[in-house]
Structure 1
Amino acid sequence: MTDGPDLTPTELRADVERARADLGDTVAALAAKADVKARVLDRAEGLRDGAAARARRSAESARAMARDDSARRGAERFALAAGGAALAAGAVVYGIRRRRSS
């Protein structure tokens, strides 16, 4: 607000309008603060959204861990199969050489 005795009527009206707008903003802020039900609902919505996000992250993490575990098991099975095949091939070669040398 402008102070002083030399204000024109237009300046006075502008000051009054600014004061009304400020007062309206203050009343709206106080009303929002006093609306406990709306504040509780907003808080509950935020908690719900946070819980849903945590659940999604946990599910994604569990799926990733399952994929990693599955891949590790698949690699172990492949390594065992490859080792068994190599052992069998070695036994066949050993048997063939042994028969030829006798």
Structure 2
Amino acid sequence: MSDSPASADPQQLRAEIEQTRAELGDTVQQLAAKADVRTRAKQALGDATDQVKQKLTDAKDQAAQAATTAKQQLANSDLPAPIRRPLPLAAIGAAAVAAIILLIVVTRRRR
């Protein structure tokens, strides 16, 4: 503000008052958002869900890549044909992915 109230322009004072009101309104909205526990909890849950989905997608991709690599290695190996079948290996890989998913879900629910 100005140094002396007598020399202050009324228009300038009104502008400063409006600016202060706007800043105060923004501050009140920010405080209200922080105090809204339900909304913050929902947002945190959404963030955690997104992280779990991303981790599951990454685990699925890694498992698929590992299964493909193992299938190729088995196909190129000197093992007898019944041992080189990829179906049992795929079942083991699927079981491992399911176990990882179950572990992540149970761990998240206990927190």
Runs of 4+ in 1 over 6 A off after TM superposition: none
Q: What is the distance in 2 between the residues matched to 1:3 and 1:33?
A: 35
TM-score, reference length from structure 1? 0.72
For residue 3 of structure 1, report the CA deviation from its aligned partner. Answer: 3.1
RMSD: 1.8
Residue 98 of structure 2: aligned partner: none
Residue 66 of structure 1: aligned partner: 67
User: Which is bigger in relative contact order (C-alpha 8 A, separation at least 6)?
Assistant: 2
Structure 1: 5+ residue runs without aligned partners?
A: 81-102
**What SS class does the counterpart of residue 76 from structure 1 fall into?**
coil
Residue 33 of structure 1: aligned partner: 34
Amino acid aligned to 2:35: A
What pairs up with 1:12-27 in 2 under 5 angstroms?
12-27=13-28
Q: What is the distance in 1 between the residues matched to 2:71 and 2:63?
A: 12
Structure 2: 5+ residue runs without aligned partners?
A: 81-111
For residue 52 of structure 1, report the CA deviation from its aligned partner. Answer: 0.2
Matched-pair identity in %? 31
Q: What is the distance in 1 between the residues matched to 2:15 and 2:8?
A: 10
- Larger of the two Rg values belongs to structure: 1
Q: What is the distance in 1 between the residues matched to 2:75 and 2:2?
A: 83
Q: What is the distance in 2 between the residues matched to 1:71 and 1:10?
A: 80
Amino acid aligned to 1:41: K
